[in-house]
Amino acid sequence: MLFGTATQALTSIGVRFDRIRIACMILFALTLFLLPQPLLSQQSSSQELFNRNCAGCHGEDARGTAKAPGLAMNQRVAGQSPEELSAFLERGNIAGGMPSFSDLPAADRAALAKYLRRLNVGIIIRPTIASQPTRKITWGPAQPGDWLTYNGNDSSNRYSPLKEINTANVPSLKLKWIFPIQYFGLETTPLAGDGVLYVTGPNQVFALDAVTGSTIWQYSRPPSAGMVGDAKLGTNRGVAILRDQVFFVTDNGHLLALDRATGKLRWETPIAADGEGQHYGGTIAPLIVNDTIVAGVSGADEGIRGFVAAFKPENGALVWRHWNVPRKGEPGIESWQGKEPITGGGSSWLTGSYDPSSDTLYWPTGNPWPDGEDRDRPGDNLYTDSVLALNAKTGELKWFYQFTPHDVEDRDAAEPDVLVDTVYRGKPSKLLLHADRNGFFYVLDRTNGNLLLAKPFLHRVDWASSIGPDGRPVVKDPHGCPNDAANWDSTAFSPETRLYYFLALEQCVSEHNSGYPDEKGQRFLRALSIDTGEIVWEVPQPGGARAKTWSGVLATAGGLIFYGQPNGGFAAVDQRDGKTLWQFPTNIFMKASPMTFTVDGKQYVVVAAGPNILCFGL
């Protein structure tokens, strides 16, 4: 009886619920009918756009898959405006595996951005970084333990006299702090002074407490529209510091002066005053020379007329500009025997070197354009793939050396030009050391550009048999290998060992040849004798070579070489023999060059790894 009563009660309740559910469905249908139809179609259209363009990787529910992270309940998405999200969709994140959606109509990108915002309504956003500095930044004269320029000194020799961390105690090196930046492939080199680190991301500058990694101030702006190449990816390699200002180059090639104490913008000027028809971008860390800020531009892979320029620190006014590719009537135009090279290339995106004893600026230049198609540019194509020796006060050319005349394989000379004073072949000499992308190691007399030594540093170089007595390559096959033997990452010379250290790539891949045993490629940390060019020792890097994973080296008076292992590590080896003494697994591709500094007498070593700044100490 009790059971029967309960059943009847439940049946009665079920009937009432059915009636309520039917009523709700009718009410919902009426609501849909009464809603403005454009709103319904807009929501449906946004969902369709998402399913068509995003769901394959991020999931139909936007909660993420093995291919890509979730976009719903995502604080990073929730913290951005629709305009910022739309700009990100247009730019993409190629380094992180996300393609650009610049081919979508702007209205569709805007609709997707609003849809992503709706997916994150109600998400609690992390507190933003304080608009005011968290502590006061003060500075004085430069100290021995500071790192106040891109390579630590004007010579571009990434050799530090610091030696608290040495071959005996480096096994005790520990990770001290991590600072994340929302960018997958950082290439920045931090600067350090007075207990503060200055690091960069895409259109971002951070001032950090050097001991804890905490943020003091931050400057940022949205990515610029219409960028190409590395500038579109957000690549940036660092800042320059002069007295109370920090100088930074944006993705669209604008030079900014920030207040060193607060990060506030003081002034801004375009590096290229007239960029119409050019694809100028900015990725460079500027260089301070003679109380001016010297910077260059990227974009030669898409067509620019490259240049180096100097600006006044007080207001950004142009001091001088040196064009790397000549126009009609200018010296060097005879080396362009086809069309006038209005967009002939010769970019200047790698920080140069400076010799105060002769007031000479040494600047590397990039490839000619078009880099693979040379029908309209017979000749040597000056002054591409060269090092330029410039009067630092006027920008006038003193001399040049072209490593690869008439380049058809994108063999940029944008590798470090390291200045060394040493005894060479029995007499005191002023040298310039350069390991080029074309596979040859060069020693030049930097007072006049004369060639002293040129020798292959790869086991096979088949585009040229040698470099002749006149300094020109003896070309066998312009399309031969290599075309990426070395790159922009930092190099170092140690006066203790007289060895030159850098990352090299043994690889031969092109449409003109295939099937070579080194087609997959392998990187090596190599040490060369500057006297003979011979490889003294090398450390093979595990795993195959991946594109755009060039990591630099740092030599110290402690007898160490620190370097990034391209496929996911940071290590220290003995300068004398390459024996590994310490290693830290980063488990992420390495694309940056290390630096070192001291605070309160303690030495630290810092490197960017993927999206993180890592700081190590004893």
Tell me the pLDDT tens digit for each residue of 264-307.
999 999 999 777 778 899 999 999 999 999 999 999 888 999 99
Name the least confident of 349-358, 422-431, 518-527: 518-527
Q: At what angle are helices 82-91 and 106-119 packed, to 10 degrees?
A: 120
Of residues 165 and 515, more confidently modeled: 165
User: Please, which pLDDT band fits residue 516 given cuts at 50, 70 and 90?
Assistant: low
pLDDT for 560 equals 98
pLDDT for 46 equals 83
pLDDT for 547 equals 84
Q: At what angle are helices 106-119 and 37-53 packed, to 10 degrees?
A: 90
pLDDT for 191 equals 98
Residue 190 has pLDDT above 60, yes or no: yes
Work out the average pLDDT over 92-104. 75
Residue 406 has pLDDT above 60, yes or no: yes
User: Please, which pLDDT band fits residue 563 given cuts at 50, 70 and 90?
Assistant: very high
User: Please, which pLDDT band fits residue 96 given cuts at 50, 70 and 90?
Assistant: low
Do the beta carbons of residue 80 and residue 126 sit within 8 Å? no
Peptide bond into 482 cis (omega under 30): yes
pLDDT for 126 equals 43
Work out the average pLDDT over 93-103. 74
Name the least confident of 88-97, 215-224, 285-294, 580-589: 88-97
Name the least confident of 33-37, 78-82, 359-363: 33-37
pLDDT for 37 equals 40
What distance in Å separates the CA atoms of residue 373 and residue 407, rounded to the nearest whole number?
10
Work out the average pLDDT over 58-83. 78
What distance in Å separates the CA atoms of residue 544 and residue 565, rounded to the nearest whole number?
12
- Residue 53 tokens read as 């363009």
Across the chain, what does the average pLDDT equal?
88
Of residues 586 and 53, more confidently modeled: 586
Name the least confident of 41-50, 359-368, 412-421: 41-50
Identify the active-site residue in 380, 410, 417, 484.
410
The alpha carbon of residue 538 and the mean position of all alpha carbons in its chain are separated, in whole angstroms, by 25
Name the least confident of 3-7, 70-74, 308-312, 408-412: 3-7
Of residues 186 and 96, more confidently modeled: 186
Pairing of the two strands 159-160 and 553-556: parallel
Which of these, 491, 490, 524, lies nearest to 507 by C-alpha position?
524
pLDDT for 81 equals 84
pLDDT for 203 equals 95
Work out the average pLDDT over 118-123. 73
410 counts as catalytic? yes
> For residue 85, which phi and psi values (nearest 5 degrees)?
-65, -40
Domain-by-domain residue ranges, the chain?
Answer: 33-119
What distance in Å separates the CA atoms of residue 397 and residue 390, rounded to the nearest whole number?
5
- Map tokens 């001032």 to a residue: 207
CATH classification (class only), 33-119: mainly alpha
Work out the average pLDDT over 424-441. 98
* In the chain, % of residues over pLDDT 90: 70
- Residue 552 tokens read as 């630099």
What distance in Å separates the CA atoms of residue 340 and residue 6, rounded to the nearest whole number?
95
Cα dihedral 278, 305, 99, 123 in deg (nearest 10): -70
pLDDT for 486 equals 97
Work out the average pLDDT over 405-415. 96
Q: What is the CA radius of gyration of the chain?
A: 28
Would you list the DSSP string of 497-557? Answer: TTEEEEEEEE---BTTB---TTSS-EEEEEEEETTT--EEEEEEPSS---TT----EEEET
User: Please, which pLDDT band fits residue 39 given cuts at 50, 70 and 90?
Assistant: very low
Work out the average pLDDT over 348-372. 96
What distance in Å separates the CA atoms of residue 377 and residue 567, rounded to the nearest whole number?
38
pLDDT for 274 equals 76
Of residues 264 and 128, more confidently modeled: 264
Of residues 62 and 12, more confidently modeled: 62
What distance in Å separates the CA atoms of residue 215 and residue 604, rounded to the nearest whole number?
18
- Residue 405 tokens read as 């005349």
- Map tokens 């800042």 to a residue: 239
pLDDT for 66 equals 60
pLDDT for 582 equals 98
Residue 14 has pLDDT above 80, yes or no: no
User: Please, which pLDDT band fits residue 2 given cuts at 50, 70 and 90?
Assistant: very low
pLDDT for 192 equals 98
Q: What is the DSSP letter of 223?
A: P
